[in-house]
């Protein structure tokens, strides 16, 4: 037993690991307590007139869409006569600096009014209390809620204005403000002015549209619908559907005030009753001797078809023979309301010269105005004319004088026609000083004044002109209006011929034929006169430059002589080198030309001389149109063949059955043993022709017949089968050769070899 080991002992410890858990719990509890104290909100009390819609521990306080507090308790307010509800609210601690006497609270709940629907979001989230933090005032914990949301703060970015109106009408808080029917702002609030005679409205314009309001901008009440009914129809005016229901304000800046400076927000604007009142026109008095059909408030004042004012009042004078009217005119006309300004009444009038004032049949009689000279003595009282005044020489357009021996059926108002388009009117007529001629005053409208120059010829286009012959009877009248009331027509054969006087003078010819008897007379000899007669036109590039006036046989009876008058650029046509030829229809199986002459008849075409040669009056017409190939762009080549075959000018030149050129002519060679055929290759395909190219006659067809394989018929195309044609091919590689030169000569073979038909080199085409 003595051999057993001896136990070792150590002193017992008073600390145990079990105490770690209470220590950790104590630390966490202390941190949570400090955090709760640090994040705890502040308690305030807000008095409401009613607790409807407010619930403890549910209704939140919201600022700019974020929750900043919550109602914790509700209690009745026993103080005072007006019983209310006191809501105890716990606000976030961050809101403590803003809890001042200027801070405002109000309850937000759904509201439907004529101005619109507000608080719609509360249908989902429930009612909430909105807050507007204050910056001034003393700190406080007790507040009284507003019965409705406060008006928009003047510190809100944008334009804040004051409008003064005689009455509020249907305007209300949040009523829209429109510019060109676009909502640009709203009414903030309204109240009686200090003198209690007017209503002051506070208006907010959004920052984007603030620059639209200028010093001279005019505001008007755009509420509801304005209806103006009469014989001319019903006029309905409304700014928008919103303004019909809830009222609204519109504004605009007059056009003549577009340079108006920016507005001063401290100065109030006047709010007009309606749009017409906002125009604030200039009032003048006009004495009328003819006032039939005029109505105050409806009859417009017109200037060249544009309304510039309105008849406001009309009062018959004691003598019953005249009336005194008060007109309101656009402010833009202020500088022209001077001595010399003229007024007259326009109503429908029917005469042989036409119908005037036709628009008055629809919209009623109206008052017309002709402004006086700007800068003359200002005037506000006028006496209207009994009828429209004669045209003022200062009116825009061209004023001219025509001399004639016979007035015919012309009268004041007869039209001036250019290519059967009315471009002016007859303004007056009178005898000359010697009483031997009549002087006709004519006005050409401004947009057509450039049609008249020193070469213009005028003729009387009244009535009907009959021309008869074997070819039929020609009836000519300028227009139905000139047939009934007379008219004057004119043409201008030359350009850039200046007018000699400020008021030009012209002769008025009896007819167009008399007027056209100018120009240069030439004689043209033709083989036959088939289809040619007096009046046959002479044309250049589709334009008439003259006409035939006489057809007669030559002295030797071997030809026909045409006497023609060249009216257009005769100095360029009546000279050495000019060519004439007859254009007649050409009919073929594949190709036709000049088919219009089957209807219009044949005519003479002229090609003026290119060089500036001397004058010439006698010409011989070409038997056929000249060859213009030399003037066409492309590669000109010559083909040498033993015979012409069916080749003729105009037949195609093809490459791989694609037309790339044409035959322009042919002639015998110098020794008459060959035929030289001229061709023209289009510029884009000129690179296809090389020194090694081979040309062959592709006209007609070939037949390859065998006993066992049958017959094979070959032809290039239907066109070459009938009209003839030429084809060519170019070899590959070194045999291709260099590009062909202009006027280079190639041999024309009767047919193609099989090898040629297999050639298919890659050649870049031109552009």
Which is it for strands 560-566 and 543-553: parallel, antiparallel or unpaired?
antiparallel
Compute CA distances 204 → 159, 261, 265, 361, whole Å. 6, 19, 11, 47
Weakest mean pLDDT among 44-53, 476-485, 733-742 = 476-485
Which residues have a Cβ under 8 Å from the Cβ of 417 and sit 6 or more positions away? 423, 461, 478, 479, 482, 487, 488, 489, 490
CA–CA separation, 640 and 669 (whole Å): 8
Sheet of 560-566: strand order equals 579-583, 603-607, 537-540, 543-553, 560-566, 520-526, 618-620
Average pLDDT over residues 246-266: 78
CA–CA separation, 606 and 601 (whole Å): 16
CA–CA separation, 514 and 489 (whole Å): 13
**pLDDT at site 731:** 94
Q: Which sign does the torsion angle of CA 221, 222, 225, 228 carry?
A: positive
Q: Which two tokens stand for residue 315?
A: 């009062």
199: Cα separation from own chain's centroid = 45
Average pLDDT over residues 191-219: 88
Greatest distance between any 2 Cα atoms in the chain:
184
**DSSP at 209:** G
Weakest mean pLDDT among 163-167, 211-215, 255-259 = 255-259
> For the segment 313-324, what is each residue's pLDDT rounded down to a tens digit?
899 888 888 899
Q: What is the 3-state secondary structure (H, E, C) of 315-367?
A: EECCCCCCEEEEEEECHHHHHHCECCCEEEEECCEEECCEEECCCHHHHCCEE
**pLDDT at site 8:** 67
Q: Tokens 């009284």: give the residue.
A: 144
443 — phi, psi (to 5°)? -120, 125
pLDDT-derived band at 230, boundaries 50, 70, 90: very low
**pLDDT at site 113:** 52
Q: Which two tokens stand for residue 684?
A: 């884009």
CA–CA separation, 302 and 312 (whole Å): 14
CA–CA separation, 334 and 308 (whole Å): 11
336 — phi, psi (to 5°)? -105, 0
> 266 pLDDT exceeds 90?
no
> 63 pLDDT exceeds 90?
no
pLDDT-derived band at 224, boundaries 50, 70, 90: low
Percentage of residues in the chain with pLDDT exceeding 70?
Answer: 78
pLDDT-derived band at 112, boundaries 50, 70, 90: low
CA–CA separation, 424 and 446 (whole Å): 9
**pLDDT at site 562:** 92
Q: Which two tokens stand for residue 499?
A: 């007018």
**pLDDT at site 597:** 59
pLDDT-derived band at 16, boundaries 50, 70, 90: low
Q: Which two tokens stand for residue 479?
A: 């227009």
Q: Which two tokens stand for residue 634?
A: 């492309």
Q: Which two tokens stand for residue 22?
A: 């209470």
Which is it for strands 366-370 and 116-118: parallel, antiparallel or unpaired?
unpaired
**pLDDT at site 236:** 46
What value does the CA radius of gyration of the chain take, rounded to a whole number of Å? 50
CA–CA separation, 165 and 171 (whole Å): 11
- DSSP string for residues in 709-741: TEEEEE-S-HHHHHH--EEEE--SGGGG-SBPP
CA–CA separation, 132 and 127 (whole Å): 17
pLDDT-derived band at 298, boundaries 50, 70, 90: confident
Return left, alpha or beta for 632; rule: phi > 0 is left, psi -120 to 50 is alpha, else beta: beta
Helix (H, G, I), strand (E, B) or coil at 600: helix
Which residues have a Cβ under 8 Å from the Cβ of 288 and sit 6 or more positions away? 294, 322, 323, 324, 325, 343, 345, 384
Helix (H, G, I), strand (E, B) or coil at 58: coil
Are 712 and 703 in contact by the 8 Å Cβ rule? The answer is yes
Q: Which residue has the higher pLDDT, 756 or 711?
A: 756
Weakest mean pLDDT among 82-91, 334-343, 458-467, 484-493 = 458-467
| Rounded to 5°, angle at Cα 499 from 493 and 503 | 125
Weakest mean pLDDT among 56-65, 291-300, 346-355 = 346-355
**pLDDT at site 631:** 61
> For the segment 123-155, what is each residue's pLDDT rounded down to a tens digit?
555 788 888 887 778 888 888 888 878 877 777
Average pLDDT over residues 203-215: 90
**pLDDT at site 590:** 46
Beta bridge partners of 138: none
Percentage of residues in the chain with pLDDT exceeding 90?
Answer: 18
Nearest residue to 679 (alpha-carbon basis) of 651, 707, 706, 702 = 651
> For the segment 302-313, what is each residue's pLDDT rounded down to a tens digit?
887 778 888 888
350: Cα separation from own chain's centroid = 35
Cα dihedral angle (25, 26, 29, 33), rounded to 10 degrees? -170
**pLDDT at site 51:** 80
E strand or H helix at 38: helix 20-39
pLDDT-derived band at 654, boundaries 50, 70, 90: very high
């Amino acid at each position: 037993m003595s051999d057993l080991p001896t136990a070792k002992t150590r002193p017992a410890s008073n600390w145990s690991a079990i105490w770690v858990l209470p220590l950790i719990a104590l630390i966490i509890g202390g941190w949570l307590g400090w955090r709760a104290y640090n994040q705890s909100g502040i308690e305030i009390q807000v008095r409401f007139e009613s607790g409807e819609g407010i619930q403890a521990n549910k209704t939140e306080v919201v600022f700019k869409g974020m929750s900043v507090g919550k109602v914790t308790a509700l209690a009745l307010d026993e103080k005072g006569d007006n019983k209310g509800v006191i809501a105890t609210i716990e606000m976030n601690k961050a809101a403590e600096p803003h809890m001042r006497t200027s801070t405002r609270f109000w309850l937000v709940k759904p509201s439907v009014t004529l101005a619109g629907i507000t608080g719609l979001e509360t249908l989902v989230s429930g009612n909430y209390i909105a807050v507007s933090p204050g910056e001034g005032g003393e700190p406080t914990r007790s507040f009284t809620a507003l019965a409705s949301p406060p008006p928009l703060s003047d510190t809100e970015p944008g334009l804040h204005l004051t409008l003064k109106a005689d009455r509020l009408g249907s305007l209300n808080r949040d009523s829209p403000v429109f510019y060109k029917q676009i909502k640009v702002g709203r009414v903030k609030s309204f109240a009686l002015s200090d003198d209690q005679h007017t209503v002051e409205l506070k208006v907010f314009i959004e920052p984007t549209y603030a620059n639209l309001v200028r010093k001279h901008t005019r505001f008007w009440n755009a509420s509801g619908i304005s209806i103006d009914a009469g014989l001319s129809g019903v006029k309905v005016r409304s700014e928008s559907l919103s303004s019909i229901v809830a009222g609204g304000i519109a504004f605009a800046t007059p056009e003549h005030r577009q340079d108006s400076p920016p507005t001063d927000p401290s100065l109030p604007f006047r709010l007009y009753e309606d749009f017409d009142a906002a125009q604030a026109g200039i009032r003048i008095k006009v004495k009328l001797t003819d006032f039939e059909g005029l109505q105050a408030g409806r009859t417009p004042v017109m200037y060249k078809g544009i309304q510039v004012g309105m008849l406001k009042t009309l009062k018959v004078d004691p003598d019953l023979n005249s009336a005194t009217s008060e007109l309101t005119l656009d402010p833009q006309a202020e500088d022209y309301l001077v001595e010399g300004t003229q007024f007259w009444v326009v109503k429908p009038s029917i005469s042989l010269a036409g119908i005037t004032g036709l628009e008055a049949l629809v919209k009623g009689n109206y008052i017309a105005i002709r402004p006086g000279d700007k800068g003359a003595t200002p005037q506000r009282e006028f006496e209207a004319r009994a009828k429209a005044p004669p045209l003022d020489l200062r009116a825009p357009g061209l004023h001219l004088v025509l001399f004639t021996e016979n007035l015919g059926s012309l009268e004041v108002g007869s039209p001036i026609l250019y290519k059967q388009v009315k471009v002016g009117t007859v303004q007056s007529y009178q005898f000359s000083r010697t009483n031997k001629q009549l002087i006709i005053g004519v006005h050409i409208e401004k947009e057509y004044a450039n049609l008249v120059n020193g070469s213009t010829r005028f003729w009387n286009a009244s009535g009907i002109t009959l021309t008869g012959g074997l070819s039929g009877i020609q009836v000519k009248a300028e227009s139905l209006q000139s047939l009934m009331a007379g008219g004057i027509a004119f043409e201008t054969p030359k350009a850039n011929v200046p007018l000699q006087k400020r008021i030009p003078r012209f002769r008025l010819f009896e007819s167009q034929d008399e007027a056209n008897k100018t120009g240069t007379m030439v004689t043209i000899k033709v083989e036959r006169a088939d289809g040619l007669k007096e009046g046959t036109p002479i044309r250049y590039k589709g334009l008439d430059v003259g006409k035939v006036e006489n057809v007669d046989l030559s002295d030797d009876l071997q030809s026909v002589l045409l006497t023609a008058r060249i009216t257009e650029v005769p100095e360029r046509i009546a000279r050495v080198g000019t060519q004439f030829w007859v254009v007649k229809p050409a009919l073929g199986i594949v190709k036709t030309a000049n088919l219009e002459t089957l209807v219009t008849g044949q005519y003479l075409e002229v090609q003026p001389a290119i060089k500036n040669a001397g004058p010439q009056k006698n010409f011989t017409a070409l038997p056929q149109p000249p060859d213009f190939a030399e003037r066409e762009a492309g590669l000109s080549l010559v083909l040498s063949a033993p015979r012409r075959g069916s080749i003729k000018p105009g037949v195609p030149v093809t490459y791989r059955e694609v037309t790339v050129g044409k035959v322009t002519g042919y002639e015998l060679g110098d020794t008459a043993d060959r035929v030289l055929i001229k061709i023209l290759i289009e510029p884009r395909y000129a690179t296809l022709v090389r020194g090694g190219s081979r040309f062959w006659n592709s006209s007609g067809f070939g037949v390859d017949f065998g006993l066992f394989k049958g017959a094979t018929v070959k032809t290039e195309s239907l066109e070459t089968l009938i009209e003839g044609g030429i084809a060519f091919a170019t070899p590959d590689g070194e045999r291709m050769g260099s590009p062909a030169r202009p006027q280079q000569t190639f041999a024309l073979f009767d047919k193609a070899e099989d090898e040629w038909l297999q050639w298919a080199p890659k050649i870049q085409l031109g552009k």
